Amino acid sequence: MPLSTPTRTVTARLRRWAAPLLLSLGTALASGALLWPTAATAQASEPAMTAASATSAAPAVEAAMASAPEAAPAKIDNPYGLEALWKQGDFVARGTLIIMIIMSMGSWYIIITKLIEQQKLFRSAAAIGDNFWKAGNVRAAAATLESTSAFRYIAETGVKAVDHHEGTLVEAIDRHTWITMSVERAVGTVQSRLQDGLAFLATVGSTAPFIGLFGTVWGIYHALTAIGIAGQASIDKVAGPVGEALIMTAFGLAVAVPAVMGYNWLIRRNKQVMERVRAFSADVHNVLLAGPRA
């Protein structure tokens, strides 16, 4: 049914008014979606907020960690050291270790005492000067030396040989022979005194490596026993016995090397000392044979 003219006019006006109203309503709905997001939109925004919070909190955490004192590292005891060797070793390992310690202490004691003794002899040799040879007789000359000097001992021995030669059983022996024997005997006593302890050094130097080798063999035996009991060659089973074996080897070398070096050094110094002792004894021997000024 065709609309009348007034009706068409009203309809046209409603269309003109409705278009802006619908447009405004669509805009409002769109802005409302932005103001009140849905659950999915909120969930999507949470990671961004969390990342932002973490970024802002990172400097504070780093500052707190920097200000906190560093924790001391935990002390780890060595289960394969000397203490473990002594505690875990059997009587054979301990006995071997004790023997090597005694040998080492004895070696160092002999080296130090012999060096002191040799140094005294060098000083005594240097003290023999014009005062000794300008004295009226050998007895007075011997009194100028120290009471513990080996050179004084040799001089006094020669004087006693001269005194005891006359009117005694040794009178039948030639005077020259008797004095020579007495002085040489005194020199031999000094030399024997210098060589005391050197045999011990030689023994230690030659036997200490083999004693350490015995400890090595014993430690390897324990390592093989541990492997047989465990049924597998794991490092924790053999580390202790093998470490014990290596320590014994090191101990043997540490004992033997100073003993050998000390022995050679003392022998060389003894040779130098004895050269001076023999030269002095020869001079005293000649003076005693020269006349009755003993």
- How large is the average pLDDT for residues 172-192? 85
In sequence order, what are the residues at sequence separation of 6 or more whose Cβ sits closer than 8 angstroms to the Cβ of residue 159?
138, 139, 142, 288, 294
- Provide the residue type at 45 as one letter: S
What percentage of the chain has pLDDT greater than the value 90?
Answer: 22
Number of structural domains, the chain? 1
Nearest CA to 88 among 104, 77, 100, 99? 77
In a domain, 166, yes or no: yes
Asked if pLDDT for residue 141 goes beyond 90, the answer is no
What percentage of the chain has pLDDT greater than the value 70?
Answer: 60
Asked if pLDDT for residue 70 goes beyond 60, the answer is no
In sequence order, what are the residues at sequence separation of 6 or more whose Cβ sits closer than 8 angstroms to the Cβ of residue 240?
79, 80, 84, 88, 222, 226
Question: Which position has the higher pLDDT, 124 or 42?
Answer: 124
Tell me the pLDDT of the chain averaged across its residues.
73
Of the segments 42-46, 122-126, 187-191, 248-252, which one has the largest average pLDDT value?
A: 187-191
Q: Which domain holds residue 140?
A: 84-290
pLDDT reported for residue 137:
81
In a domain, 268, yes or no: yes
Terminal-to-terminal C-alpha distance of the chain: 179
Q: pLDDT tens digits, residue range 271-282?
A: 999 999 999 988
- The model's confidence at residue 15, banded by pLDDT at 50, 70 and 90, is low
Q: pLDDT tens digits, residue range 37-60?
A: 444 444 444 444 444 444 454 454
In a domain, 144, yes or no: yes
- The model's confidence at residue 206, banded by pLDDT at 50, 70 and 90, is very high
